[in-house]
Amino acid sequence: GFRATAAHAHQELSARPATMQEKAVGLPGHWRVTRPDGRCFGRLELPPGTDREGPADLAGTEPSAAAGTEEREAGPPADVVAGDGGSGDWKPAAELLEDLDGVLVDGGAVAEYEIDPVSVSRLTDPHTGQSATSNVEGLLMVQEAAADAGVCLLPDGTRVARRHQAE
């Protein structure tokens, strides 16, 4: 199937930076990541072979707080157009990252930028110690107090259970 990349996703955004509202609802070709604490990030896969060298003023920033084991590259890519001879109206990746206040993660293969967080509700049962966390996007997480066990219910009905077996 077709997987949109930066070259395809920003054709219509080349004339101006994306607004916060556009970033919050999701830009074309991007996907949203929502953390359990409610922080949200937009992500965009950069095409293979994209030059990862960029302007010195955008290089060397702090690692993304959203990234678990991911590290930020030294600088953003210089161009997202991957040799298709296409139109010159697409934004270079360095300019796009600057407009979105983004960083590179996953070894420079993915651009990531922070967007407005979602509301989160947390409740702990004082008798059982069981905690429940939900957010406005429909995620529900239930965590057992004493055990390393829990369940995560996603908005589409997917259920992910986790149990740690004692040795």
User: Average pLDDT for residues 64-75, to the nearest whole number?
Assistant: 41
Predicted confidence (pLDDT) at residue 81 exceeds the cutoff of 70: no
Maximum mean pLDDT: which of 32-36, 37-41, 82-86, 88-92: 37-41
17 exposure class (CB count in 10 Å sphere: 0-12, 13-18, 19+): middle
Q: Whose structure tokens read 């149990």?
A: 163
Using DSSP's 3-state secondary structure scheme, residue 107 falls into helix
Tell me how far apart the alpha carbons of residues 125 and 132 are, in angstroms, rounded to a whole number: 8
Is the distance from CB of 7 to CB of 86 less than 8 angstroms? yes
- 50 neighbors 93 (Cβ within 8 angstroms): yes
More confidently predicted of 120 and 146: 120
Note the pTM of the prediction, 2 decimals: 0.58
Tokens read off for 75 = 């600088």
Cβ distance 63 to 112 under 8 Å?
Answer: no
pLDDT at 161 (0 to 100) = 92
Average pLDDT (98-112) is: 84
Half-sphere exposure of 114 (CA within 13 A, CB side): 12
pLDDT at 79 over 60: no
DSSP one-letter string for 91-158 = PPHHHHHHHHT-EEEGGGTEEEEEE----EEEEE-TTT--EEEEETTS-EEEE-SSSSEEEEE-TTS-
